[in-house]
Structure 1
Amino acid sequence: MFYSRLALCALISVSFLAPAVLNAESEIQPSWPNWMGPNRDGISHETGWKTEWPDEGLPVNWSREIGIGFSSVSIAQGRLLTMGHVEGEEIVWCLDANTGEELWTHRYPCELNNNLHEGGPGATPTIDGERVYTLGKSGQLYCLNLKSGEVHWSVMLQDDLKVPNPEWGFSSSAVIEGNQVILEGGRVVSYDKITGAKNWETKPHEAGYGSAAVFRRDTETPLVATLDCAGLRITELMTGKAVAFKSWSSPFRTNATTPIIQGDLISISTAYNVGCGLFEWDAESSTLKEIYTNKEMRNHFNNSILLDGYLYGFDGNSNQGRVVQLTCMKFDTGKVAWKQRGMGCGSLMIVDGKLLILSESGTLILAKASPVGFEELAQSPMLTGRCWTVPVFLNKKVYGRNAAGKLVCLDLAP
C-alpha cells in the first residue's frame, strides 16, 4: 500500500532563463513559454528581485481558483497558460500574468483520474509563437490560438496512437522542435505543429510520465531522449527511428522524469528505491554506456536541476514525505555533497544562482545553490494543502499552485 499511495505521482510531469519574445505591439517581454523554460533546464538568470523577504511574508499580487491538477504555468506575451479540472471538465486557462484576469478558457469533458490522489491534468501548456499546445489527462492534444483560444487542430492520442490511457493518465508536456510537436505517451510521437498531421510514431511501450529531451552530439542527426516505464529510449528526431535503449524499469510503473542532458551525458532518475543513473551517449556505436547508478537521487516526479556541475533535487517517495531529502549531488560522479530534510516532496527551480523551492506544504523557500551546504536565505508562506507542482519565476513574480487548484502570484519586486 505504501507504493500505491503515490505510485500515482508518476503522472505529474508536472511541470523553467527567460529570453525575450516579440508581441503584437513590438514590445519586448520576458517569457517562460513551456515546462522548465525555453532552455528546458529549470534555470532563470533574471536579476534585480527581492532576496530579503519580510517576516510577515511576501505580498500576494493576485490569486484565483483554476481547478484540481498539477499543471504548472507557461507565460509569454503577458499571458499565463495553465490547466485544471472542474466538475467533469478539464479547463485550459489563459490569464493576464500581471492581474490573474481571465482572458479565455478552453473546456472539454474529461473524467477525473483521482486514484489515490487529487487527479487533474499534469502536463504544462507549451506556447510557441501565436499557438498553444496542451495535453489532457485522457490524451486530448489541442493546438489553440494564444490570443483567442480558437482550436487550430486536435488529436485524441488513445485513438490515434492505439494506446491505452496510462494508469495515471497522459502527462507529457509538448516539446516543440522546428515544425514538430514531440510527446511521450505509450509511443514517442511527432506531429506537424501547424497542421496536426502525424510525422512518425515509435513502436508501443509502457508509457512514462515525463517529457522528451532533444539533443545533438557528435552527429548531424538530432535525437530525442525519453524515459518511459520500460527504460531510456533514444529516437531519431526527423524519422522516429529507434536508435538505442537502456532498460530502466520501475517496480510500480512510475518513471516520471525527463532526461537531463549535458554534452554526451544523460541522467535519469526514478523513485521507489530505484535511484538514478548517468549514461554516456556514443554516437559512433549508437550505444549508451553506464557511468554510474546509485540510490542517492530518487526523483519521484519533479526533475532535479543541473547547475555548475551539481544536481539539486528531491530524493524520495511522496508517500514518505517526512523523510524525503533535498539533495545536492555531483553530476558526473554521483557523489553526494549534502542532504536536507524538512520540505517534504517539494519542487524547485533556480533563479540567479539561488534555489527557489516550494515545499510540499506550500512554503516558498530561497536558499543558496552551492555544493558547500544547504543555507536558507528567506522563506514566505505561499499556499496550503498538497503542493507538488514546480513554481515559476518571471518578471520579479513567482507563480505557484496547489493540487486543489489555488494559483497564487507573489511579488518579489524590490
Structure 2
Amino acid sequence: MKASPVGLLVILLSGLLAVTSRGAEPTAEWPQFLGPQRNGISAETGLLDAWPASGPQVVWRQPGGVGMSGLAISRGRVLTVIERAGKQQLIALSSADGKELWLTELAPAFRNAMGNGTRATPTIDGQRVFAFTGEGLLIAVDFVTGKQLWSKDTLRELDSPQAEYGMACSPLVVGDHVVVTAGTAKEAVAAFNKETGALAWKVGRGPAGYSSPALLNVGGKNQIVVFTGDAVLGLNPETGAQGWRFPYETDFACNIATPVAYKGQVFVSAGENHGSALLALKGTNAGFEASEVWASQGPQSVLRTEWQTAILLGDHLYGFDNVGGAGPISHLTCINAASGERVWQQTRFGKGNMIAADGKLFISTMNGELVIARAAPEKYEELGRMEVLGSTRQAPALAGGLLYLRDDKEIVCLDVRKN
C-alpha cells in the first residue's frame, strides 16, 4: 500500500530524528548558548570520571569553518555558524555521524581585528533557529530544511552603530519574542516577533557590549537580565519595560559574560582588570533598586571573567580570572558566591571555557585541550587532560552523553559516557 503524503512526512521526520545506538539520544538537548537553562550546566549523569588512557572515544570529526559561534544541539542535530567560501553560514550536522544535513548562507564573511567570523551561538526554538551575524543581521531559518524564514538588519532598523569587535549576542527566545542587544543611545535591547521578525519592543540605552541576555528569576520575578557595555538591566519579559539599571562601566565596553542568578540576586563579572559584583534587588514603587551585596573590583579582584561565563554550583562560582587587559594569563578560580571570598585558585591555568555536569567541569582551553576536573569547592582536582583540536574559545556542548567542540577548522564529537 502506498503511504499518504502525511504518512510520508511522519516517516521522514522520524528518520531525521533517529540516531544510532552510540549517537545522542533524541531527547537530549543543548539548544542554545550555555545550554538548556543558559547557565552552562547540564543535568546529565553517568559521565566519565576520568579520561581513559587513549582519551574519550571520538565518535566523529568533520570539517567546519572560521568563527566563534558555539554549538546548539536538538533532536539529533548539531548547529553552529561557520565562515566558509567567503560567507557566514549556518550549518546543521547529524549528531550520529557528523553528516552535513544542510548549509544556509547568512551574510558575507565578517572580518575583525579581534577575530573573524560570527560570534553568536544559534538558538533553536521548536521548528525555528535564530542566528545573529557579526554585523547584526538577525535571521530565522527552518530547523528541518534550513530555509530562511526572515531576516532583519537590526542595526539599520534601530539606527545603531556596530560594536567595535562585532555583534556577539546569542539570541534569547522568551515567549513570542527573540531578544538581542542592539546598543544605541536610546535602544540598547530589542525584541522581535519570532514568527514574523517584526519589532516588538526596544528599551534601554548604552553600547551593546558583547554579553548574551538571560531569563533569570531574580528579585522574586522572572526578568530578562542584560549586561550591556556599561550597565546591567532588568527587563519585563513580556513588555520589555525596564525595571532597574545598575551602572557597570568597563574599558572598551567589554562586558562579555552572561549574568548569573544566585538566590534571587544577580552576579556579574568582567575582565579588563575590572572584577565582580553580586547585586540585590529591592522592590520599589517604580520597579526595583539594585545595590551591591559585595563587590571586588580592580587588579586584586577575586574574579575577572573575560569572555567566559562563570558556572554556579551550589554556593560556589567557578570561573576564569583573567589577569590584565585581555592578557594571556588566566587562573581557574572558585569563589564563595554569598561572600565573594576566593576559595581556591589554580594559577596560570590558561585561558579557556567550561560547562558543568555530573559533578565535574568539562573545560576547553585555547591550546585545544579538553580537561575534566572535579567540581568541588575543597580544592582543584584534575581528572584528565587531552589535546582534541586547535585553539578555541568556545565552551563544550553536551547532549546525550556526547560532548561537542569546535575550532576554526573542525567540529568534533566525543563519547563521555561511562560504559
TM-score under structure 2 length normalisation: 0.88
Tell me how far apart the structure 2 counterparts of residues 129 and 96 of structure 1 sit (CA, whole Å): 17
Residues 218 and 263 of structure 2 are in contact (CA less than 8 Å); yes or no, is this contact kept in structure 1? yes
Matches within 5 A, 1:164-243: 164-186=161-183, 187-217=188-218, 222-243=222-243
Tell me how far apart the structure 2 counterparts of residues 219 and 338 of structure 1 sit (CA, whole Å): 31
Residues 175 and 182 of structure 1 are in contact (CA less than 8 Å); yes or no, is this contact kept in structure 2? yes
Matches within 5 A, 1:266-345: 266-284=266-284, 286-294=288-296, 295-317=301-323, 319-321=326-328, 323-345=329-351
Count of paired positions: 387
Residues 343 and 360 of structure 1 are in contact (CA less than 8 Å); yes or no, is this contact kept in structure 2? no
Tell me how far apart the structure 2 counterparts of residues 341 and 55 of structure 1 sit (CA, whole Å): 26
* CA offset digits 1:56-113 (Å, max 9, x no partner): 3223221122211111101111011101112421010011012111000111332432
Tell me how far apart the structure 2 counterparts of residues 218 and 207 of structure 1 sit (CA, whole Å): 24
Q: How far is the alpha carbon of 1:258 from its aligned partner?
A: 1.1
Tell me how far apart the structure 2 counterparts of residues 229 and 374 of structure 1 sit (CA, whole Å): 32
Which moves more between the two structures, 353-362 or 201-210? 201-210
Aligned with 2:308: secondary structure?
coil
Which moves more between the two structures, 178-187 or 368-377? 178-187
Q: How far is the alpha carbon of 1:153 from its aligned partner?
A: 1.3
Structure 2 runs not aligned, ≥5 long: 1-11, 19-25
Q: Looking at CA atoms only, which structure, 1 or 2, has the larger radius of gyration? A: 2
Tell me how far apart the structure 1 counterparts of residues 283 and 160 of structure 2 sit (CA, whole Å): 31
* CA offset digits 1:289-339 (Å, max 9, x no partner): 111111111010110000011000100058433x31000001111001000
Matches within 5 A, 1:2-401: 24-25=13-14, 29-115=27-113, 117-186=114-183, 187-217=188-218, 222-284=222-284, 286-294=288-296, 295-317=301-323, 319-321=326-328, 323-384=329-390, 386-401=391-406
Tell me how far apart the structure 2 counterparts of residues 362 and 188 of structure 1 sit (CA, whole Å): 34
Aligned with 1:29: secondary structure?
coil
The structure-2 alpha-carbon separation of the partners of 1:218 and 1:50, relative to structure 1 and needing over 3 Å to count, comes to closer
Alignment partner, residue 19 of structure 1: none
Residues 219 and 283 of structure 1 are in contact (CA less than 8 Å); yes or no, is this contact kept in structure 2? no
Aligned with 2:156: secondary structure?
helix
Residues 110 and 138 of structure 1 are in contact (CA less than 8 Å); yes or no, is this contact kept in structure 2? no
Q: How far is the alpha carbon of 1:217 from its aligned partner?
A: 4.5
Tell me how far apart the structure 2 counterparts of residues 367 and 216 of structure 1 sit (CA, whole Å): 29
Residues 57 and 381 of structure 1 are in contact (CA less than 8 Å); yes or no, is this contact kept in structure 2? no
Aligned with 1:229: secondary structure?
coil
Tell me how far apart the structure 1 counterparts of residues 60 and 347 of structure 2 sit (CA, whole Å): 30
Residues 217 and 261 of structure 2 are in contact (CA less than 8 Å); yes or no, is this contact kept in structure 1? no
Tell me how far apart the structure 1 counterparts of residues 44 and 386 of structure 2 sit (CA, whole Å): 20
Which moves more between the two structures, 358-367 or 23-32? 23-32
Aligned with 1:349: secondary structure?
strand
Residues 73 and 392 of structure 1 are in contact (CA less than 8 Å); yes or no, is this contact kept in structure 2? yes
Q: How far is the alpha carbon of 1:277 from its aligned partner?
A: 0.6
Tell me how far apart the structure 2 counterparts of residues 334 and 40 of structure 1 sit (CA, whole Å): 22
Residues 363 and 381 of structure 1 are in contact (CA less than 8 Å); yes or no, is this contact kept in structure 2? yes
Q: How far is the alpha carbon of 1:242 from its aligned partner?
A: 2.3
Residues 36 and 42 of structure 2 are in contact (CA less than 8 Å); yes or no, is this contact kept in structure 1? no
**2:216 counterpart letter in structure 1:** F
Tell me how far apart the structure 1 counterparts of residues 410 and 112 of structure 2 sit (CA, whole Å): 17
The structure-2 alpha-carbon separation of the partners of 1:54 and 1:225, relative to structure 1 and needing over 3 Å to count, comes to same
Q: How far is the alpha carbon of 1:214 from its aligned partner?
A: 1.8
* CA offset digits 1:168-221 (Å, max 9, x no partner): 11111111111111111212111111111111001442111111122344566x
Which moves more between the two structures, 292-301 or 194-203? 194-203
Tell me how far apart the structure 2 counterparts of residues 109 and 194 of structure 1 sit (CA, whole Å): 21
**2:116 counterpart letter in structure 1:** G
The structure-2 alpha-carbon separation of the partners of 1:298 and 1:217, relative to structure 1 and needing over 3 Å to count, comes to closer
Q: How far is the alpha carbon of 1:266 from its aligned partner?
A: 0.3
* CA offset digits 1:146-178 (Å, max 9, x no partner): 000111111111111110111111111111111
Tell me how far apart the structure 2 counterparts of residues 209 and 104 of structure 1 sit (CA, whole Å): 28
Tell me how far apart the structure 2 counterparts of residues 224 and 147 of structure 1 sit (CA, whole Å): 29
Tell me how far apart the structure 1 counterparts of residues 96 and 302 of structure 2 sit (CA, whole Å): 40
**1:137 counterpart letter in structure 2:** G
Tell me how far apart the structure 2 counterparts of residues 387 and 128 of structure 1 sit (CA, whole Å): 26
Residues 279 and 291 of structure 1 are in contact (CA less than 8 Å); yes or no, is this contact kept in structure 2? yes
Tell me how far apart the structure 2 counterparts of residues 303 and 218 of structure 1 sit (CA, whole Å): 21
Q: How far is the alpha carbon of 1:235 from its aligned partner?
A: 2.0
Aligned with 1:272: secondary structure?
coil
TM-score under structure 1 length normalisation: 0.89
Residues 122 and 171 of structure 1 are in contact (CA less than 8 Å); yes or no, is this contact kept in structure 2? yes
Tell me how far apart the structure 2 counterparts of residues 372 and 263 of structure 1 sit (CA, whole Å): 22
Tell me how far apart the structure 2 counterparts of residues 203 and 125 of structure 1 sit (CA, whole Å): 24
Tell me how far apart the structure 2 counterparts of residues 162 and 177 of structure 1 sit (CA, whole Å): 24
1:412 aligns with 2:416: yes
Tell me how far apart the structure 2 counterparts of residues 261 and 374 of structure 1 sit (CA, whole Å): 24
The structure-2 alpha-carbon separation of the partners of 1:363 and 1:330, relative to structure 1 and needing over 3 Å to count, comes to same
